[in-house]
């Protein structure tokens, strides 16, 4: 099964969220966690891509700021796990109510679940459920790359002190769903630099107990 052609990363919003755009050979594109819409929109236009999906690793406010505008403009499908769907419409649930920029997304989402395969052009992107940072946290897996949102970071893991978070569940997710991937798999988190499964297996201080 062919892989995606390439991807691009932006660092956007007040919390420096990593927003990614993945595209296939036919120009079909998927945006992961758009914290803002403008730079993504401009890049899609310039390259004559077609935005087919907006995929959310989870529903926290720092990952959804550009969702509504991109969906409205490109008529893309919004992919999210049902565990986080309620966050879209409710600023207190996505925690933007506690910032100076409350936000909500009214677009109707399409629910995805574990092991589901999303077709982007001729490429396949697989959904991994990795709850713990939030109840509906998911990863997007291609051949040798995985986008993990705030589940796993370079040398760290996601915070679990917010409502809906669980450290026990997060470590279980990382162990059962991420550490079993090919060690060479590149990991693209929601914040900070990218890494690999092998690197985090060996160096991440939060994973010492489950190595």
Q: Which residues between 1 and 20 bind Zn ion (CB under 5 A)?
A: none
Q: Which residues between 168 and 187 bind Zn ion (CB under 5 A)?
A: none
Q: Is 129 in the site for Zn ion (CB under 5 A)?
A: no
Q: Is 33 in the site for Zn ion (CB under 5 A)?
A: no
Query: Is the Cβ of residue 121 or residue 189 nearer to Zn ion in the bound state?
Result: 189
In angstroms, rounded to a whole number, what is the distance separating the alpha carbons of residues 5 and 158? Answer: 29
Task: Tell me 11's DSSP state.
Answer: E
Q: Is 66 in the site for Zn ion (CB under 5 A)?
A: no
> Largest Cα–Cα distance in the chain?
47
Q: Is 84 in the site for Zn ion (CB under 5 A)?
A: no
Q: Give the per-residue contact string, 136-155, with Zn ion (x = CB under 5 A; - = no).
A: --------------x-----
User: Smallest distance, Å, CB 131 to Zn ion?
Assistant: 12
Q: Is 165 in the site for Zn ion (CB under 5 A)?
A: no
Residue of the chain from 4, 41, 51, 62 that contacts Zn ion (CB under 5 A): 62
Q: Is 164 in the site for Zn ion (CB under 5 A)?
A: no
Q: Write the DSSP assignment of 118-148 as a string of letters.
A: EEETTEEEEEEE--SSSTT-EEEE-SSEEEE
In angstroms, rounded to a whole number, what is the distance separating the alpha carbons of residues 132 and 208? Answer: 17
Q: Is 190 in the site for Zn ion (CB under 5 A)?
A: yes
In angstroms, rounded to a whole number, what is the distance separating the alpha carbons of residues 195 and 143? Answer: 16
- For residue 75, which of 43, 46, 53 has the smallest C-alpha distance? 53
Which positions lie near Zn ion, rule CB under 5 A? 60, 62, 150, 190
């Amino acid at each position: 099964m062919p892989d995606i052609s390439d991807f691009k990363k932006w660092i956007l919003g007040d919390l420096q969220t990593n927003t990614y755009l993945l595209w296939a050979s036919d120009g079909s594109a998927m945006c992961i966690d758009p914290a803002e819409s403008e730079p993504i929109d401009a890049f899609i236009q310039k390259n004559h891509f077609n935005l087919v999906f907006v995929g959310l690793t989870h529903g926290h406010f720092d990952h959804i700021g550009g969702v509504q505008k991109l969906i409205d403009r490109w008529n893309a499908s919004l992919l999210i796990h049902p565990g986080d769907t309620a966050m879209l419409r409710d600023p207190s649930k996505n925690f933007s109510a506690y910032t100076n920029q409350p936000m909500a997304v009214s677009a109707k989402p399409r629910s995805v679940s574990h092991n589901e395969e999303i077709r982007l052009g001729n490429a396949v992107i697989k959904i991994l459920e990795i709850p713990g940072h939030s109840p509906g946290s998911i990863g997007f897996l291609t051949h040798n790359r995985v986008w993990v949102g705030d589940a796993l970071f370079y040398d760290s893991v996601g915070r679990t002190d917010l409502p809906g978070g669980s450290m026990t569940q997060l470590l279980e997710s990382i162990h059962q769903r991420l550490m079993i991937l090919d060690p060479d798999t590149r990991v693209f988190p929601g914040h900070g630099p990218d890494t690999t499964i092998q690197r985090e297996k060996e160096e991440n201080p939060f994973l010492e107990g489950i190595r």
